[in-house]
Amino acid sequence: MARDSLRIVSSMLGTLLLTMLLPATAHADPASEPVPGAEPIPIEAFVRPKAFHSPQLSPDGRHIALVVPSAYQSALAMLKVADSQQVGHLQLPPGNHIVDFDWIGDRQLLVSLGEQYAADEPPAATGELAVVDVDGKNFKVIYGSAGIRNTRGARALRKQFNYGNAFLVDPLFDDPEHVAIQTRKWAGAEWQPDLVMRLNVKTSVLTEVARSPEPGSRTRFLLDGEGRVRYAVTSRSTFKSRTWQRADGGKDWKPLEIEGEHPPKPLVFSGDGRSVFEEAYDFGPTSCLVEHVLESGERRALACDPESDLFDVYRSFDRSRTPIAAVFSAGRPEVRFLDKAHPHRVLLQELLAAFPGKQVVPASVSRDGSLALLYVYDDRSPGDYYLFHPATKKADYFAAVGEWLDPDRMNERRPFRLKARDGTTLWGYLTLPRDKPAKALPLVVNPHGGPYKLRDDWAFDHEAQLLASRGYAVLQVNFRGSGGYGNGFVDAGKKAWGTTMIDDITDAVRWSIGQGFVDERRICIYGSSYGGYASVMSAAREPDLYRCVIAAAGVYDLPLLKKESDIADTKPGLEYLDEAIGNTREEQIAQSPVNHLDRLKAPVFIIHGKEDERTPVSQAKALRAGLIKRGHPHEWLVKDGEGHGFADTANQIEQYTKIFAFLEQYIGAASTSPSAIAAVSGAQLP
């Protein structure tokens, strides 16, 4: 397929569909729509929820289902592929979200229900599974006892999530009355064994299919193309893993000679059932795409990168779904095709060439492979979806995730790498305002939350784009503890919240100054959750580097966090906190920003939600009390009804409006005189 032979046919999905589902939240008021050519782009355009996400083709390729999000609930919309017309929808009550969904037949879907505990995190499953028909009728919870919640954030119901869960492992298309699910329950003082159960979607009757070969461990099961459970990976509390297989149709598990600290992640059986493809750490410090040949036990590394974990796997468009390419993303995603000869390899290569400068992801494929849904994105666009016909090599435009954001008015997101002070390679992203030279810019350092195993990547970032739209360069570095660069990189951040991880942020800032991108006299730091912690701690450790600090939903008193956070509600949560921040009070005190405020020079803007259970508002109050005690300049924005990050659009607009006023005061155009800078920092100027 030559590049110019790929026909891109426009068939826009009407906005009427999404307006019908969630008129109050899915679309902003027309009066707030950005006017072409107007400056600046309204804040509303950046905080507005995506039009939809997670679209999936039905097995027969005749329908598409997609999630329509809002701050307080989710809806599921079902459309006809032929004309994009809505045929049905599922609207959940406020406080309920769709965590995941799958087609389990041509006209029926299985939906995982849940709650959203933090505005900047995806919803978490509460354990209930429900079915609904393509026309939106016959909705029924078929697994789980809590059912649909009537109020938002009812904490008592979380025990269903904390102490038991269930999720789909195979739709069993050849058995229309059943699906295969995995269940795990907490009973007494220990976990019950992980099970694969056959669930009757009409009667809710459960039948055990397979049991974990190692009770008390977390288990990943993998079913072959015939729906048989033949492969499992178990992880024990000692952080050791084992891999198991069982013969076709057999019940007894046989341990394989694969054991390690970091468990492999099984992805899919080969079409002939003889091999398993998985993400694994056998061949180096980062994860590779590995083929495990079951009969011989041979393990082959199909694709590796010395700096990046496996980011994604692209599979064939036919029913076998054979891996044909691996994606790695130390900086910008890179597609590496496998050595195996497969006709769809050339097809995918031509598809990538047809969208130069963009990433093309086969997001969903019909069961017979005749139709695929492609997700096409880059750093300046939230993404577009195309319906692709492999037989004719034709791609029809389907819809945009955020059609109100003009990519031509967005900003470059430039990957960078540098050597930290100890020689470790760090990767990150510098978002540069498009209408200014990339020289001596005011900078906002934006450390990500989490912090462990999360990362910033090259995809469109609403917050970075919003900050850049106001003329600020935005620096985001994947410090130690971030995901995507090997488990050793993650482990290097444990118990190093206030030391190594902060050093990495500082080193990235100094790198940006040395490159000439940044005016070293105009730097502020702003983050949320762990990013809020890192913002205050960075400014305390490097008091002459930052002119202001903005901390949202942050952690400032680690002993207090361990007492009050919802993470500490469970034994696994407490174990996580011990591993993450230290299990002694001395360690926690040493790494708490409230104990280092005497070094702080930059004024602080504290932002928090009163209903935050991840980092309770007592954290913000402890920081404010410490600042007041020292007479330190600060501002305060705390909102009723908000949790871990603001969800309400009006509150988000207020938050960013005040953030921009704060930034303008200290590093904006009105604050660039030497006297103003000296007044803020207390620095002596030459």
Span 65-80, pLDDT tens digits: 999 987 778 899 999 9
CA 211, 214, 220, 226 dihedral sign is negative
Residue 496's contacts (CB-CB under 8 Å, 6 or more residues apart) are 480, 481
- Do 393 and 371 touch, CB atoms closer than 8 A? no
Q: Tokens representing 206?
A: 């459960």
Please give the distance of CA 350 from its chain centroid, rounded to a whole number: 29
Specify the pLDDT at position 415. Answer: 98
By DSSP bridging, strand 108-115 and strand 124-133 are antiparallel
Q: Is the pLDDT of residue 381 over 80?
A: yes
Residue 665 within any structural domain of the chain: yes
Among 86-90, 163-167, 191-195, the minimum mean pLDDT is found in 163-167
Which pLDDT score, from 0 to 100, does residue 324 have? 94
**The dihedral sign for the CA sequence 37, 43, 47, 49:** negative
pLDDT at residue 38, rounded to an integer? 56
* Residue written as token pair 């006297």: 675
The pLDDT confidence band at residue 40, using thresholds 50, 70 and 90, is confident
Please tell me the predicted confidence (pLDDT) of residue 164.
Answer: 61
Residues 169-196: what's their mean pLDDT? 84
| Domain coverage including residue 664 | 411-677
User: What's the pLDDT at 190?
Assistant: 61
Q: Is a pLDDT exceeding 60 seen at residue 141?
A: yes
Least reliable range by pLDDT among 113-117, 328-332, 444-448:
113-117
Please give the pLDDT value at position 662. Answer: 98
For residue 33, the model assigns a pLDDT of 44
Whether the per-residue pLDDT at 459 is higher than 50: the answer is: yes
Query: pTM for the whole thing?
Result: 0.88
The H or E element spanning position 269 is strand 265-269
Interval 197-226 mean pLDDT: 91
pLDDT beyond 50 at 346 = yes
| Phi–psi pair at 454, nearest 5 degrees | -95, 165
Q: Which helix (H) or strand (E) holds 351?
A: helix 343-354
Burial class (CB in 10 A: 0-12, 13-18, 19+), 665: middle
- Indicate if the pLDDT at residue 657 is higher than 90: yes
Give yes or no for residue 674 having a pLDDT over 50: no
Say whether pLDDT at 156 is over 80. no
Q: Which two tokens stand for residue 284?
A: 């180096």
682 or 463, which is more confident = 463
Residue 307's pLDDT is 96
Three-class secondary structure of residue 578 per DSSP: helix
> Which pLDDT belongs to residue 424?
97
* 467 is a domain residue: yes
What domain count does the chain have? Answer: 1
pLDDT of residue 214: 87
Both structure tokens of 102: 């799958």
Round to whole Å and give the CA distance between 159 and 377: 38
β-bridge mates for residue 323, sequence order:
315
18 has a pLDDT exceeding 60: no
- Domain-embedded: residue 86: no
Q: Is 516 contained in some domain?
A: yes
416's CB contacts (< 8 A; 6+ apart) are 331, 427, 428, 429, 430, 511
Residue 564: inside a domain: yes
Whether residue 524 has pLDDT greater than 50: yes
Range scoring the smallest mean pLDDT among 26-30, 101-105, 161-165, 642-646: 26-30
DSSP state, residue 13: P
- More confident: 656 or 239: 656
CA distance 204 to 142: 5
Does residue 381 form part of some domain? no
> pLDDT confidence of 483, banded at 50, 70, 90?
very high
Tell me the angle at which helices 530-541 and 500-514 cross, rounded to the nearest 10 degrees: 70
- Whether 113 maps to a domain, the answer reads no
Q: Which two tokens stand for residue 521?
A: 């006299």
What residues contact residue 430 under an 8 Å CB cut-off, 6+ apart? Answer: 413, 414, 416, 473, 474, 475, 476, 512, 517
Q: What is the pLDDT of residues 97-138, one digit of tens each?
A: 899 999 999 999 999 998 877 666 777 788 889 999 999 999
**316 inside domain:** no
Contact status, residue 100 vs residue 109, Cβ threshold 8 Å: no
pLDDT in the model for residue 154 = 41
Whether the pLDDT of residue 4 is over 70: the answer is no
- pLDDT tier at 145 (50, 70, 90 boundaries)? low
Please give the C-alpha separations between residue 156 and each of 126, 344, 471, 566, in angstroms, as whole numbers: 11, 50, 45, 12
CATH code at position 445: 3.40.50.1820
Instruction: Let me know: does 169 contact 194? Beta carbons within 8 Å.
Output: no
49: which DSSP letter?
P
- Determine how many CB atoms are found less than 10 A away from the CB of residue 334: 14
CB 96 within 8 A of CB 73: yes
Give all strands of the β-sheet with 140-143 in edge-to-edge order. 97-105, 108-115, 124-133, 140-143
